[in-house]
């Protein structure tokens, strides 16, 4: 009798659990039918799985992955999870890919290459346009994240394959490297001279600039050796109007825009290209920057600072007088008095005053 009672009790417990699971599944199924968080044909992310909804019944939801693997998830389990419906409220949704790139590659160059590779991939939507973000600085690579938009998640593997394939070929053509996980021992030694090609390029530009026409070849060489090469990314300000400045710049690569602030608005006044010099008035006279120069492309410039210029002028004091005359002539031109026209006595007096003023400034700035 006791054995019969014990068996009956165990059967009742098993039946209770089974009934509980069954009722829980039915109730969950009813909840899904009423709230309709997803429908047949939607793509869901459940946990780490991406899958298409194939069937919804009172007991379970049946899903199919991109690998044609079916997942039969009881409704009372699926309602306990965070469900991401990639097709709600519309099929258009964004996905992301992370790519590691060597540290020596300029970020804007990498971003442009990644963007072009993504736009050329099939199934990537043109609107909204893809975007590329610098995500993190890793141990051996800079990580970039590509955000792109697609319609059916059924093509996700194909899209990722197309983007990554395009990236490989794009990087090969532009000499951008995806690094291995390595450690590099870098020994820094002081460089006495700049690479010869860069040095020669800078020298040719400076010798063609009237401000430096009074310098000998050796003096120009000395000026370049005392300068430094600086990179600016697209959109960065190289100099800013109103800021203190004690250097000038030679644009070696890239393009930049010159703007001035008027009545609270920035007015573009000119453009700078390879070989152009700018910022010389602040270097030579100590005046604040009179305009803002912003990089329109990734730019590489040579910055000539006050100490290097002072060392050259101390060796060539005759240049101070020539520089004062050039600066005075530029000042007269900005006031609408071209230097090649005959000047009245009043204009000649003003020119002499400007020459004297600039001569005093030069001697004061460079402590000559």
Under the banding of pLDDT at 50, 70 and 90, the label for residue 1 is low
All CATH 2.60.120.10 domain ranges of the chain, comma separated, are: 192-305
Q: Which residue has the tokens 């800078």?
A: 202
Q: Report pLDDT for 263.
A: 87
Q: Report pLDDT for 18.
A: 46
Q: Report pLDDT for 31.
A: 63
Asked whether residue 7 carries a pLDDT value surpassing 90, the answer given is no
CATH of region 93-173, choose from 3.30.70.100, 3.90.1150.10, 3.40.30.10, 3.40.47.40 = 3.30.70.100
When mean pLDDT is compared over 121-130, 194-203, 308-317, the highest value belongs to 121-130
* Cα–Cα–Cα angle for 16, 17, 22, rounded to 5 degrees: 95
The token pair at 254 is: 């890239």
Under the banding of pLDDT at 50, 70 and 90, the label for residue 181 is confident
Asked whether residue 198 carries a pLDDT value surpassing 90, the answer given is no
Asked whether residue 244 carries a pLDDT value surpassing 50, the answer given is yes
Q: Report pLDDT for 188.
A: 63
Task: Look at 146 and 59; give whichever has higher pLDDT.
Answer: 146
Task: Look at 96 and 341; give whichever has higher pLDDT.
Answer: 96
Q: Return the exposure string of 11-32: e unless at least 16 CB atoms fall within 10 Å of the residue's CB, then b.
A: eeeeeeeeeeeeeebeebbeeb
Q: Report pLDDT for 344.
A: 67
* CB 121, CB 134: distance < 8 Å: no
Q: Report pLDDT for 213.
A: 83
Q: Report pLDDT for 26.
A: 59
The token pair at 10 is: 């165990």
Under the banding of pLDDT at 50, 70 and 90, the label for residue 134 is very high
Mean pLDDT over each residue of the chain, to the nearest integer? 83
Report whether the peptide linkage leading into residue 128 is cis, meaning its omega lies within 30 degrees of zero: yes
Q: Which residue has the tokens 């007991």?
A: 59
What is the C-alpha to C-alpha distance for residues 198 and 253, in angstroms, rounded to an integer?
11
Mean pLDDT lowest among 92-96, 124-128, 190-194, 312-316: 190-194
As a three-state string, the secondary structure of the chain is CHHHHHHHHHHHHHHHHHHHHHHHHHHHHHHHHHHCCCCCCCEEEECCEEEEEEEECCCEEEEEECCCCEEEEEHHHHCCCCEEECCCCCCCEEEEEEEEECCCCCHHHHHHHHHHHHHCCCCCCCCCCCEEEEEEECCCCEEEEEEEEECCHHHHHHHHHHHHHHHHHHHHHCCCCCCCCCCCCCCCCCCCCCCHHHHHHHHHHHHCCHHHCCCCHHHHHHHHHCCEEEEECCCCEEECCCCCCCEEEEEEECCEEEEEEECCEEEEEEEECCCCEECHHHHHHCCCCCCEEEECCCEEEEEEEHHHHHHHHHHCCHHHHHHHHHHHHHHHHHCCCCCCCCCCHHHHHHHHHHHHHHHHHHHHHCCC
What is the C-alpha to C-alpha distance for residues 197 and 223, in angstroms, rounded to an integer?
16
Q: Report pLDDT for 49.
A: 80
Task: Tell me which residue of 136, 106, 133, 107 sits closest to 118, measured CA to CA.
Answer: 133
All CATH 2.30.30.60 domain ranges of the chain, comma separated, are: 18-85
Under the banding of pLDDT at 50, 70 and 90, the label for residue 193 is very low
Asked whether residue 290 carries a pLDDT value surpassing 80, the answer given is yes
When mean pLDDT is compared over 135-149, 190-204, 263-277, the highest value belongs to 135-149
**End-to-end Cα spacing for the chain:** 119
Average pLDDT over residues 43-58: 84
All CATH 3.30.70.100 domain ranges of the chain, comma separated, are: 93-173
CATH code of the domain made up of 192-305 = 2.60.120.10
Assigned CATH class of 18-85: mainly beta
Mean pLDDT lowest among 25-29, 75-79, 95-99: 25-29
What is the C-alpha to C-alpha distance for residues 295 and 240, in angstroms, rounded to an integer?
12
Q: Report pLDDT for 192.
A: 47
Asked whether residue 82 carries a pLDDT value surpassing 80, the answer given is no
Residue range 344-355, pLDDT digits in tens: 677 778 878 888
What is the C-alpha to C-alpha distance for residues 2 and 157, in angstroms, rounded to an integer?
62
Residue range 10-35, pLDDT digits in tens: 444 554 444 555 555 556 556 666 66
Q: What are phi and psi of 55, to 5 degrees?
A: -160, 140
Cβ atoms within 10 A of the Cβ of 359, count?
A: 18
Asked whether residue 141 carries a pLDDT value surpassing 90, the answer given is yes
- For residue 170, how far is the Cα from the chain centroid? 18
Q: Report pLDDT for 149.
A: 95
């Amino acid at each position: 009798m006791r054995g019969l009672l014990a068996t009956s009790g165990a059967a009742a417990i098993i039946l209770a659990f089974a009934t509980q699971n069954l009722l829980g599944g039915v109730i969950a199924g009813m909840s899904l039918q009423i709230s309709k968080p997803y429908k047949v044909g939607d793509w869901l992310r459940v946990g780490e799985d991406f899958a298409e909804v194939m069937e919804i019944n009172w007991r379970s939801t049946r899903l199919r992955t991109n690998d044609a693997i079916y997942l039969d998830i009881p409704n009372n389990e699926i309602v306990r999870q965070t469900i991401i419906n990639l097709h709600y409220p519309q099929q258009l949704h964004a996905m992301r890919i992370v790519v590691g790139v060597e540290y020596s590659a300029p970020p804007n160059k990498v971003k442009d290459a990644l963007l072009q590779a993504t736009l050329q991939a099939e199934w990537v939507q043109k609107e909204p346009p893809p975007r590329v973000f610098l995500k993190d600085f890793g141990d051996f690579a800079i990580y970039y994240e590509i955000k792109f938009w697609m319609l059916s998640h059924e093509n996700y593997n194909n899209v990722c394959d197309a983007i990554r394939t395009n990236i490989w070929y794009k990087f090969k053509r532009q000499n951008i490297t995806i690094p291995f996980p390595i450690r590099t021992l870098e020994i820094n030694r002081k460089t006495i001279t700049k690479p010869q090609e860069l040095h020669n390029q800078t020298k040719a530009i400076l010798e063609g600039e009237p401000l430096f026409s009074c310098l000998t070849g050796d003096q120009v060489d000395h000026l370049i050796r005392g300068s430094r090469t600086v990179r600016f990314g697209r959109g960065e300000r190289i100099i800013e109007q109103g800021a203190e400045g004690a250097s000038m710049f030679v644009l070696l690569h890239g393009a930049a825009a010159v703007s001035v602030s008027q009545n609270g608005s920035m007015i573009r006044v000119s453009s700078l290209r390879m070989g152009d010099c700018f910022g010389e008035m602040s270097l030579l006279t100590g005046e604040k920057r009179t305009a803002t120069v912003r990089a329109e492309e990734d730019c590489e410039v040579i910055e000539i600072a006050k100490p290097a210029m002072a060392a050259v002028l101390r060796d060539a004091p005759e240049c101070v007088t020539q520089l004062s005359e050039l600066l005075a002539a530029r000042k007269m031109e900005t006031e609408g008095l071209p230097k090649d026209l005959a000047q009245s006595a009043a204009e000649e007096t003003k020119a002499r005053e400007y020459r004297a003023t600039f001569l005093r400034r030069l001697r004061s700035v460079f402590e000559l």
